Structure 1
Amino acid sequence: MSGLTFVDVCSGAGGLAHGLERAGFEPRLLLDEDEAAVTTLRTNRPRWNVLHTDLLDFDPAEHRVSYDVDLLAAGLPRVKSSATVGRADSSTEERLLEAAVYLVHAIRPRAVLIENVPGLAHSDEYRRLRDFARAELAHLGYEFSWFVMNAVDFGVPQSRKQGVLVAVERHRARAFRPPTATVREPTTVGAALGPSMASRGWRDAARWAAQADRPAPTLVGGSKNRGGADLGPTGAKRTWATMGVNAHTLGDTVPGPEFIWDPELGRDNMVKITAEQAALLQGFPESWAIAGLKTARYRQIGHATPPPVGEALGRAFAEALSGDLEASAAG
């Protein structure tokens, strides 16, 4: 499949964009307000058109965004689960979601993809946002659906559920089918990180990998207003501890030959995951460089859409949109 194009907003570290690229899409424009994320995008794909700006300040007319775009994609910051949802003093995350929907008016893509928290797909707490999206997109001639995907079903060594909004122009909508799982068995943390854990000669790498025999809990990137990086809330930390991992911090390097791994002695004798290893748990290829200091790198990784999930969604959109491309080529 070729000839498909997309605009990606709130692009972050490029997980969704990279996945769409693997599915055959070419970006017309990517944008993000975070300087480190913009550097990440430009470092990995120097030819991509990357704009350093906030979606809330973005004017598509000023930047001459083409109207001939197949997909508008948005891996937005997580809308908070709180009693404030639906109130007049909406959060920045809510306003970004609304801005992404309003952007459809300006760009008029053939399809729309918005990824966020799983509750957005079905929870009553987010009904106002669903009703808003439905009304706006129906008015523009799109049919849409919400569904939930788990990254672990697509080869990502992490249990990570995501709520997905898919909107397709009405006359193409029936051709879209939500992605189905691409793996039968989940990839474990040990399988994903075993080689890197052994890369500096750590003698217990194989024994550790055998104990890390399940997918990772959901990685949480945290916010800019929060302190140092860790691997998630209390429940996630407990799960990591059963795999002999100290989830209260990130490591600077993988263990060397001298490291003694003995979880019964406490955190100091548990292994630490590095930011680069966290990227592997998120489904990024080893070649994908994340810019910034350790905490900034982990924040980008934790907020990203896993590339294999983006690729699966991209292939589903490609199938739905391919009829137009084939008809155009025949003409």
Structure 2
Amino acid sequence: MKNYYSLSEVAEMLSVSKQTLRRWDENGKLKATRMPNSYRAYSPESLMPYVDVDSPPSVKETTPDYNVPLKSYSVLELFAGAGGLALGLEKAGLSCKLLNEIDPWACKTLRKNRPHWNVIEGDVAKQSFKEYKGKIDIVTGGFPCQAFSYAGKKRGLDDARGTLFYEFARTVKEVKPLICVGENVRGLLSHNNGKTLQSMIQILEDLGYDVLVPKVLKAVFYKVPQKRERLFLIGIKKGSGIKFNYPKPDNKMMTLASALKAGELYKTDVPKSPGQQYPARKREIMDMVPPGGYWRNLPIKVQKEYMLKSYYLGGGKTGMARRISWDEPCLTLTTSPAQKQTERCHPDETRPFQTREYARIQTFPDNWKFEGSMNQVYKQIGNAVPVNLAYAVGKELVKSLNEYTISEELRTKLKS
């Protein structure tokens, strides 16, 4: 433990300015010690009621589990889909106040499982969220990536008009949350040579948010048995002093077996459910592929029959005629388990994954029911954020808001 902390260090710990600390020292609300060089310093004893001096600048933990919310933190989510992100955030202790989604079947799914959630069905462009200004802690949204650029005009938010990112940014502008969380595919990093993402960052900065360096999180390191990657774009309201750290990855990877068999993730084997089936000839071909194999494991003659012109184009195409093995994570799920380019075949049975198997690979609980036809269910699950990945991010959001809450209470106490 240090003997003394400088004015700058304490300002960082308490998320206040050095000028505020000088004023508190002068009026006796938080006294500093004058050092021989006349600089202000703070003894550990003077700070112990407020911060953890063993590991500054973290605010002292006041609960057995630091990720347990100190109060109710609210979330407004756009493009909510079937609820993967919302469910993970709820699991972390956050409160979903409003969810907007245009797909009627996904809305039915949300209402079926969470009748108390305020689900607003319809085009986000036709919704106003001004009534929630100052009442929401976090705005989230997995906005689809649509191209736009400044084209040299530098008009800020106006440049994004007509895109779904515009609706996300407009909502942030209307609601003024403490934190905004955008989520997207990894490809956004390189879209238009990175200019699209930079435009998004600049727009959020212009709206009053400090944007963290975007980060791709690999779901497989967050208790998700799937090689899925999602890009997170997180903005912190300027002047709030909130700090956010991306969740640390777990070194242990989940496998397909952990999704479909009783074990660490689920107490029981996956229940039976509806699922697509292969046509007769495709089933004959997939019967030849071993677990963990793909089209190159087929006889040359069958490779040419199955791949057609793609056979001569080179490249790995490892998703084609792919049978997943028990001891590996599943490849990224799509909206259909039997598309030729993104085949997802069961390890033992020659068939695509069933809908409940799909849901488990996305770490939905077995009691989360999906509404609509079988194909609608596949679509909802395939488009979802894995629940456990959302949970990992949610815990860090709670931690950040807990620190903010403690700092706010401390500032209020010192000002009174």
| TM-score after normalising by structure 2 | 0.61
The match for 2:330 is: 216
The match for 2:202 is: 135
SS in 1 for 2:252: coil
> What displacement does 1:301 show?
0.4
Q: Does the 8 Å contact 1:172/1:321 carry over to 2? A: no
Measure the CA separation in 2 of the matches of 1:93 and 1:291: 32
Q: Which amino acid aligns with 1:52?
A: E
Q: Percent identity?
A: 27
Q: Does the 8 Å contact 2:92/2:394 carry over to 1? A: yes
Measure the CA separation in 2 of the matches of 1:278 and 1:34: 19
Report Cα offsets for 1:266-322 as digits up to 9, x if no partner. Answer: xxxx14311111010011111111111100011010001111111111111222221
The match for 1:74 is: 141
Measure the CA separation in 2 of the matches of 1:108 and 1:126: 30
The match for 1:43 is: 112
Asked if 1:16 corresponds to 2:85, the answer is: yes
Measure the CA separation in 2 of the matches of 1:6 and 1:98: 19
> Which moved further from structure 2: 126-135 or 18-27?
126-135
Matching residue within 381, 388, 395 for 1:308: 388
The match for 1:284 is: 364
Measure the CA separation in 1 of the matches of 2:127 and 2:395: 28
The match for 1:98 is: 166
Distance 1:329 1:155, change over 3 A: same
Report which structure shows greater RCO (CA 8 Å, sep ≥6): 1
The match for 1:3 is: 72
Aligned alpha-carbon RMSD (Å): 2.9
> What displacement does 1:124 show?
5.2
The match for 1:230 is: 337
Q: Which amino acid aligns with 1:315?
A: K
Q: Does the 8 Å contact 2:218/2:230 carry over to 1? A: yes
Measure the CA separation in 2 of the matches of 1:149 and 1:230: 23
Q: Which amino acid aligns with 2:377?
A: R
Larger Rg: 2
SS in 2 for 1:163: strand
Matching residue within 338, 347, 353 for 1:244: 347
Q: Which amino acid aligns with 2:141?
A: A
Measure the CA separation in 2 of the matches of 1:14 and 1:150: 19
Measure the CA separation in 2 of the matches of 1:232 and 1:94: 31
SS in 1 for 2:226: coil
Q: Does the 8 Å contact 1:220/1:231 carry over to 2? A: no
SS in 1 for 2:227: coil
Can you give the 5+ residue segments of structure 1 that lack an aligned partner in the other structure?
201-207, 222-228, 246-260, 262-269
Q: Which amino acid aligns with 2:119?
A: V
Report Cα offsets for 1:118-140 as digits up to 9, x if no partner. Answer: 122x3152633223222222122
Q: Does the 8 Å contact 1:20/1:311 carry over to 2? A: yes
Distance 1:325 1:198, change over 3 A: closer
> Which moved further from structure 2: 149-158 or 127-136?
127-136
SS in 2 for 1:29: strand
> What displacement does 1:23 show?
1.2
The match for 2:259 is: 192
Matching residue within 149, 165, 170 for 2:233: 165
Distance 1:281 1:171, change over 3 A: same
Q: Does the 8 Å contact 2:242/2:404 carry over to 1? A: no
Distance 1:127 1:94, change over 3 A: farther
> What displacement does 1:53 show?
1.4
Distance 1:191 1:115, change over 3 A: same
Measure the CA separation in 1 of the matches of 2:404 and 2:150: 41
> Which moved further from structure 2: 45-54 or 183-192?
183-192
Asked if 1:109 corresponds to 2:173, the answer is: no
Measure the CA separation in 2 of the matches of 1:17 and 1:277: 20
Measure the CA separation in 2 of the matches of 1:87 and 1:139: 14
